[in-house]
Amino acid sequence: MKITILAVGKAKGKPEAILALEYIKRLPWRISIIEVEEKKPLSGQERMDSEGQKILKALPENVLVVALDKSGEVYSSSMFAKAIQKWQLAGHSHIAFIIGGADGLSQAVYEVSTKKLSFGAMTWPHQLARVMLLEQLYRSHAILSGHPYHK
């Protein structure tokens, strides 16, 4: 399986990036992180729309698109693992998770998203959301392969 994390903002050299790389090393799935960034000083909606265009342009073809959003579904770790398994069994060999910027995701990104996933009602820093997603992907793999990590 291939997983793409398409995220707004650069993480290079930050502690969160180092931790994200550690989880990527542990996972047997092919993981890639694509970062997009809007450097122009734009208003909230303009920035969100511009970031959305960059996300859509960078989005690989033939992927199941899952947007991380506060209004998305909240899964337990076991439920998330089952969802990944269900997506795989449905023929999806490539999943793209989208993490927006400070203003959120544009409507255009929501329109191409098949699913919305939430880490709960709390707001999390976008760099930390990457690590949380990667940890849950690692935990999902452990659950699906019967490894005791999840316990």
**pTM: predicted TM-score of the whole model, two decimal places:** 0.93
Which residues have C-beta within 8 Å of that of residue 13, sequence separation ≥ 6? none
Query: pLDDT tens across 6-40, in order?
Result: 999 887 778 988 999 999 999 999 999 999 987 77
Q: 3-state secondary structure string, 14-65?
A: CHHHHHHHHHHHHCCCEEEEEEECCCCCCCHHHHHHHHHHHHHHHCCCCCEE
Q: Can you give the pLDDT at residue 79?
A: 96
85-95 per-residue burial string, b: 16 or more CB within 10 A, e: under 16: eebeeeebeeb
Query: pLDDT tens across 40-95, in order?
Result: 778 878 988 999 999 999 999 999 999 999 999 999 999 999 999 999 999 999 99
Which residues have C-beta within 8 Å of that of residue 98, sequence separation ≥ 6? 6, 7, 55, 59, 65, 66, 67, 68, 105, 109, 113
Do the beta carbons of residue 114 and residue 51 sit within 8 Å?
Answer: no
Instruction: Give strand pairing partners of 115.
Output: 66
Q: Can you give the pLDDT at residue 112?
A: 97
Q: Can you give the pLDDT at residue 68?
A: 96
> What tokens does 63 get?
């992927």
Residue spans per domain, the chain: 2-150
Of 3.30.160.20, 3.40.630.30, 3.40.1280.10, 3.30.750.24, the CATH number of 2-150 is 3.40.1280.10
